Amino acid sequence: MATNPVPDHVPPEMVRNFSLFTSPGMLPTPNGDPHAAVACVHAGPPIFYSPFNTRDGRGTWVITRARDQRRVLQDAETFSSHRSIFASALGENWPMIPLELDPPAHSVFRSLLNPLLSPRRVRVLEAAVRERAIALTERIAASGTSCDVMKDFTFPFTVNIFLRFLGLPDHQLDTFVGWANDLLHGDYVKRPAAARTIVAFIDELASVRRKEPADDFMTFVVQAQVEGRRLTDEEVRGIGVLVFVAGLDTVAAAIGFDLAYLARNPKDQEWLRSEPDRIVPAAEELLRAYPTVQMIRVAKKDIDFEGAPIRKGDYVSCATMIANRDPAEFESPNTIWLARPDNRHAAFGYGPHRCLGSHLARREIVIGLEEWLARIPAFRIKEGTAPITCGGHVFGIENLILDWS
């Protein structure tokens, strides 16, 4: 893929050969550790320019310090979140909502959706989450002494919960995972095709729920009102598509990275298994160490930031995996310390766009680990196999074969 020319206003000395997509450890790598690989940026300056740092090969500024990422992500006046990341794959321009709206419009939709995923609401959803985790881990424990964690556990677990939330039947699970996979990791042919399929699916679901309301998320969205009016078709689509793409593989990947870590660190594994109360704080540390998402903002005006001449229209990358390895924020950031106190990690981002699903995601991770550790004895990476990790817009792991024979 060609790299875009570096804009004239970027001083050459601020350009670095770093990319979340193409740097060492970012491409699919057996036994890789992409999170550790990106931590190397902390040996360098707080901000630099990466000529190739989006899926479509655009350059971005890269903010390395947690403190500065907070400043960028909290300042929606200067740094917009609207870049039609999904619609652009279709050559269109509509926002995923609320992610790609800026305040004040953002706040209206955020207030509409917040109660559906608030910490209290998540407590109500929790019984179904646990039931699903128990069913899957029981089946895995009963059927042998090894499994493919992503295929047999994390995807069927997290996607099921998400489908239930949206109000969709479970039998289409593999189809949805396939779409998400094409969208996130597909090439220039597969990506737009998957995007079109997802849009058509969400539009159809919205139209069905308008005619036949059910007790689910899409029904809520098509019946909802903001500022005294119903949502437009484009708004309904923007919300549906966001929930679809945000919920599909981020949590599955997080749990995959967590189990890979525990498989390689039997002492930590046993430390959690012997005292399950430790899992809640440990999940926070694992979120710090293995977050999955890079946030990108677009400068709405010229600003000099820590010596960097950011100009209107420039992309600014705030990668959670970089902030979470900032030595100014976390003591020994590359050491995973499951009891780490004061763990103010950035896995769910900072500012008004803080992950709407964060409370559900947290509970899925905790419950997933609890039920896995309760039923699966001391496990390790199966001999002769190697999990494959990748960087990119969303970090991922596959071929994670665990063995407890």
Partner 1 sequence: MRIIVHKAKCQGHARCWAHAPDIFMLDDEGYILPGDVEVAEGDELLASRSARSCPERALEIDPTPAARVESGVDQPKVGRV
- Cis, peptide link before residue 98, omega less than 30° from 0: yes
CA distances from 372 to 38, 88, 110, 169 (A): 29, 39, 33, 24
223 — phi, psi (to 5°)? -95, -10
Q: Which is nearer to partner 1, 117 or 198 (CB)?
A: 117
CB of 283 to partner 1, least distance (A): 11
Mention every residue, 6+ apart, whose C-beta is less than 8 A from residue 83.
100, 296, 298, 315
CB of 280 to partner 1, least distance (A): 8
Sign of the alpha-carbon dihedral angle for 232, 235, 241, 247? negative
Q: Which is nearer to partner 1, 265 or 343 (CB)?
A: 343
CB of 2 to partner 1, least distance (A): 37
Q: Which is nearer to partner 1, 85 or 361 (CB)?
A: 361
Report the interface residues with partner 1, using CB under 8 A: 70, 74, 111, 114-115, 117-120, 341-346, 348, 350-352, 354, 358-359
- Return the half-sphere exposure (C-beta side, CA atoms, 13 A cut-off) of residue 251: 31
State the Cα angle at 115 between 86 and 130, rounded to 5°: 85
Mention every residue, 6+ apart, whose C-beta is less than 8 A from residue 237.
94, 199, 202, 203, 206
CB of 91 to partner 1, least distance (A): 33
Q: Which is nearer to partner 1, 152 or 284 (CB)?
A: 284
Q: Which is nearer to partner 1, 27 or 280 (CB)?
A: 280
CB of 257 to partner 1, least distance (A): 20
d(CA 69, CA 62): 9
173 — phi, psi (to 5°)? -50, -50
Q: Which is nearer to partner 1, 35 or 359 (CB)?
A: 359
CB of 125 to partner 1, least distance (A): 14
d(CA 142, CA 362): 27
Q: Which is nearer to partner 1, 117 or 136 (CB)?
A: 117
CB of 366 to partner 1, least distance (A): 11
